[in-house]
Structure 1
Amino acid sequence: MQENQDFIDLRDVVAVLRRQARLIGITVLIVLAVAFVYLTQATPLYTATALVKIDPQETNLLDPTQVGNSNSSIESTRLETEVEILKSSNLAIQTITALDLQSTQEFGPSVSLLDQFKVALGFELPAAPSGTQLLSSSLKRFGDALTVRRRGLTYIVAVQATTADPDLSAQIANTHAATYIQDQIASRSSTSIASRDVLQGQLQSARSRLEQSNSALSDYIETNVIRLAEETGNPELAAIGRQLQNTNEQIADFEQTIALAQNAFDAGDWETLASQVGDSALTALERQRQQLQNRLQSAEAGTSEAFDLAAGLAELETQIAARGEAAFASLETQMLEFQDSRIALQDEAQRAALESELSPATLADIYSLQQEAGIAQRQYDQLLGRIRDLETQAVLQVANSRVVSDALVPTAPSYPNKKLVMALALVLGAGLGVGLAFLKEFYFGGITSASQLKNIVPVPMGGIIPKVNTTDVTEVLSDRVVSDPMSPFAESFRKLRASIDEEIGQTESGRVIMVTSAIPAEGKSTTALALARTYASAGKLTLLIDADLRNPSIHGYLGAEPETGLLEYLMDRTSHPRKDAKSNDLLDGEKEVEQFYVVDPLTNAGVILGRKKSNVPTDAPLQSDVFSGLLNGARQSFDVIIVDTAPLVPVVDTRYVTPHVDAAVMCVRFGEATQSEVRSAYEQLANASRGNVKIVTALSCFEGSSRSYRYDGYYGA
């Protein structure tokens, strides 16, 4: 009868752990040993931390009262942006360069173990890496060593550096934080300067527009001054207009004179320059120069006279150049005076015109020109003021971040954490050990529960036979069926008997029940003897046949020492068949059988014994007509015939017995045979029976708890 387990019993789990304690212990020790080796071989790493406070608000020294947007989501976004900047390759390169990390053993180029192995084997080293590859390698190692993380929801960002050198860890953390702040200042300054440069171009355009708009009104009045004078009848405006025309004509003449004088000055034509500026002294100097030059040409070269003439000529040319420059400057000064006079006349003309009574059309034109000049002036003033602010900001920039805690040189390694590693190894080892224990118990190990056996062998569960703890090594456990009939052990065989009877049903002759197992030492012989005694105690004529010809054991349980056994009987009758053998009755050949046929001393069950282990194959006797006739005769004389057979996996004998039986009990010892062995044994038994044999299982030596055996007080007084 199948035992259903609807829940997990903690005592079953504890029992599994107790049985697999050795495996769990070995697993824990192995994992701890691996962790210990790792700790002894791992390079200790040191972590230094610098704390940087980041202000998400923009600071403007020119306007300290200015407050930016204080939205929490915007501030969080800005903080995360600064964290990503701290992780950027640009800052990493600056820190690597500042500390010359590319030349250190930890961050610089190194020969890999593979390359070292190639060199040891005589292979050539690969080509030296390029500068880009070296920089990428250093950046990768630096990125692995650097950790930037925001502390919770605060404005504090931790910059951590982890290296094998504690001093280097502190240097990297502090340098990277300082580089970040310097880069922030430089970035803000460069942004201000770039903005100023952009506005400079706009300022030039605004200045041009301002000049054009300012001169537009003056040009308008100057061009129309005579018309305006006639329109308004203002004699002052007419006089100013005439003076302005004369001044313009003089300026035009001076511009022509200056142009000619400029050409003469550039060409060194002092005579022409003197005539243009009307300087008699310059003319006299030019004449003296020509005279000296003529005398120099007629003088003998190399003489003192020629030397003196050349020196005098050079000095005179210097005087002429200075005089010519002064004369040209005098022309420019006069030109400026005329221009100033023109400007003054333009201002007077503008004042006089505006004070006169002008026509509406003229007033509209003048007003339009004044408005454009005012707009251009305001734009120019705004751009000029903004440029001055940006120039000041570029000089007065401050960072929105500051270092609130410099990284100190760590005194203890942060990696590996020995206590944590060993604790994790202990937990991992225990977990792995427990997992392996349950895998072995429920998948790769033996059968430990009725449900597990049901999943592997899809036949009814005949019974669960509990393990009997005894200190008497000479005790035969099957005796307890008779000596202690109220024990759970005896009750389990009565349940097994009931399950077999339910499976077989009513039969016209005696029923043959085979007891087997997957491998040796699973308690099949004890089960066979106990089951035979259970049937005998119930009043059934019972015969037990020890058909395990390879290793008979029933005679040992009964304390009998037969001179011959079933194997010898079968082999003798097979080799020398009786010519007059017509009957299949068990008593046929009584003289031969009585030598190994005994009566159980505790019950009235008959027992056919074996004698000793066989040293020859035993499958042939079990296939003989003699054995078949023996079973047929037993059916006629007994109600129940129990046949103890050999294990299924190691030998083939049981396959030839199976076709002759009505039911088969497959004994599975608790935690003994592997699941694959049990499955293989069942497949062999099912194939041999061809569906004609009822198969039940019996879980023997059960060590767990079962609800069927919790009613200890119910059994006996």
Structure 2
Amino acid sequence: MTRHGRLIVFVTLLAILGALSVTSVLRPIYTATALIVVEPASSNLLAPGGVGQMDALNNGIVDGIVEIMRSDPVLARATELADPFELADFSSGFDLQPLFLGFFRIDAEPLASGEAGRAQVLKLMHNSVAINRRGLSPVIAIRASATSPDFAARLANAVGEAHIALEVAAKSANLRKARDLVQVQVEGLRGHVLALGEALENLRAVGAVELDGSTTNLQPQIAATLRSLNLARDQYQRLLQRSSELEEQAGLQLPDARLVAPASPPPDAGFPDTKTTLAVSALVGLAVALALAFTFDGLASGVRSTDELAEAIGVATAVAMPRLGASRFDGTSHADQVITAPLSAFSEGMRTLQVNLQRSLMSRAGGQVVFVLSPGDGEGKTTTALGLARAFDAAGRSVLLIDADVRSAALHRHVDVPLAGGFEQVLAGDVDIRQLASMVRKDPLSKLSVLVNSDRSAVPAEVLFGGATFANVLRGVRASYDITVVDMPSLHWSAEAAYILPHADAVVLVASWGKTERTKLREALVAIRQAHPLPVPLVPVLALQPSIIRWPAPRYEPGYSSR
């Protein structure tokens, strides 16, 4: 995954920036919570012990109160208590309409009138208010969301107060209905009492007359009527007292729910949660980036193992060079590890390459010239050439490293040496060949001699490498150095390869892991064979191999170390 580091960083940053841009345009939503406790109160506060007495509580009562608080009448009453407000005060979740309206300077749609406006407000109330019971406790939480902290707190409290007010009103209304029913009976008994009283008076009057003119006795009937009258009067007084008690109870009702913790304006917005959103976006972006990286690796058509590279070239084995994660600056190179970290996996790979070449060149007399090339640009050719030259130098050989890649002239960015003209100026005839020795510089990290170019050249290949100057230069370095490593142009510049390769005693072909395709390797092999009529030693190198599949670096310890 190291080679996809830029992709991973880019996708992750893109996800974070996308989330940040979205959260920056969303309206902040504030959430306030009010707590209601359910305590069923006695409906008769006038009875002995009625004050403070609570009826038994069960889950059905609490759940029923929750559903009642979610009903339209309660929410409609809450809007009256929370007034004044505007439609923009209610939360509407992921709503970009206010942003577009503000951008185009369009006034927001006003609140409709009549039933349409009431329905619109109720819909917003249902979206903005959440009412839930806290577990199995008698506590009910009212969560109100709004675009301002003050309105959120006012809305949550309004819902609780609306339910309490409607509950008390409903209890009082029921008692007054009962009073009205009793009052009807009182009026009926009043007429009955009056009728009995009148009948009693008539009987007494008739009884007095009959006593003077006859012997008829009406006393039993008078006594019965008097008993009925007394009984009716008692009933009348009881109903009258009950009516009075119901009237008093209607004005002394307590709600079954009590607002124990009124909502207060929240200090911070609950939505969007910028920190959580960015963290989740970063994780999602990282996951997507890793998935893309694995997908690209799976779809990559380039060689991805030394065995595959050796088979494509037609040799027994290939050398692997690990990818180094550290950044490189001008004047430094990953090839510095050959000197600064001799036990690293990179240094071990360079020594392996140096040993393989040394075995191939043992039968050849005099100074040897090794050309390092690659099928394309950016495949690790220059780093490999510098590392190989330093490995030969560490083995005690006199070595010259020549920057013949006149199309990129990259070597001077890897080695911190002063420039004194360019090698290509000698090849082009602009500088006398006798001044070539004065252009050679010493590698600051080793005894290696370096001949670099200061800038890219546009001179044709036949002028630089097709004349006698280049052949004379190689003849001179063969006599002066044991090994000459030439960093030549990639095979992308086929004309340069055709002129340079015939002078090679050995060739190092650098392929990039997952990038260099087998077809490019076959084309490179054909170019090498066509340019060099005789078989020339060829050592393939698989560069930039990811560390996740790299062999572990050996740990060297003394054979008889003390424990």
TM-score scaled by length of structure 1: 0.40
Q: TM-score, normalized by length of structure 2?
A: 0.49
